Amino acid sequence: MRHHHVLHVIAKLLLPFVLLFALYVQFHGDFGPGGGFQAGVIFAAGFILYTIVFGLENARKVAPMPAVRVLVAAGLLLYAGTGVAGVLLGGHYLNYSVLAGTPVAGQHLGIMVIEFGVGVTVAAVMITIFFCFAGREK
């Protein structure tokens, strides 16, 4: 893949938009179609594009495996932790109404946070899976 200049340039041009679109889907999920699951997959797809064009070694430098592994757990912990935060503030587990001043604002905040947790876990898991498959030698 070393001499494919067109591929390299186009991929470099495309990548920021892919990642930006993933973030848009992530944080616009309350209003239009989208949410953590889709955003995570799109974000991971951006990394997969990078890996295919620039090779696994470079991709591992961008997204080191230990960091990705931490993110896999961090997203889930963020989700579960939001539930615990609700309990500590006097509500039920995973009831977001108590997280902010008014119930509606609390729900909004809660949905935002857990969608982010979902997105992080999904993206990290997909990147992990792809790196595992790509790093395997026949």
Partner 1 sequence: MLSGIYSLFAAAIFVELDAVDVAFTEASVGAGISTMLMLGTLALTTRLEKIPTYMPILPLLVVVATGAALIYGTLDMPRFGDPNAPIHQHVVPRYIEDMPKEIGVPNVVTAVLASYRGYDTLGEVTVIFTAGIGVLVLLGGGRRERPGGRRAGGRGGPS
Partner 2 sequence: MELVQGLYNYWIAMILMMAGFYVVISRGNLIKKIVGLNIFQTSVFLLYISMGAVEGGTAPILEEGLTRFSNPLPHVLILTAIVVGVATTALGLALIVRINEAYGTVEEEEIHAQDEPA
Residue 29, classed as helix, strand or coil, is: coil
Q: Which of residues 28-47 bind partner 1 (CB under 8 A)?
A: 29-35, 37-38, 41-42, 44-45
Residues 59-118 that bind partner 2 (CB under 8 A): none
Counting contacts by CB under 8 A, is residue 129 touching partner 2? yes
Q: How far is CA 104 from CA 3, 12, 79, 85, 111, in A?
A: 55, 41, 19, 17, 11
Q: Is 8 or 108 the residue whose CB approaches partner 2 more closely?
A: 108
Select from 11, 15, 103, 109 the one that contacts partner 1 (CB under 8 A). 103
Q: List the helix and strand counts (H, then E) for the chain.
A: 5, 0
Q: Which of 31, 57, 88, 90 binds partner 2 (CB under 8 A)?
A: 31
* DSSP-based three-state secondary structure for 123: helix
Q: Is 132 helix (H, G, I), strand (E, B) or coil?
A: helix
Question: Can residue 134 be called a binding residue for partner 1 (CB under 8 A)?
Answer: yes
Footprint on residues 6-25 left by partner 1 (CB under 8 A):
25
**What distance in Å separates the CA atoms of residue 70 and residue 49, rounded to the nearest whole number?**
22
Closest approach, Cβ 37 to partner 2, in A, equals 5
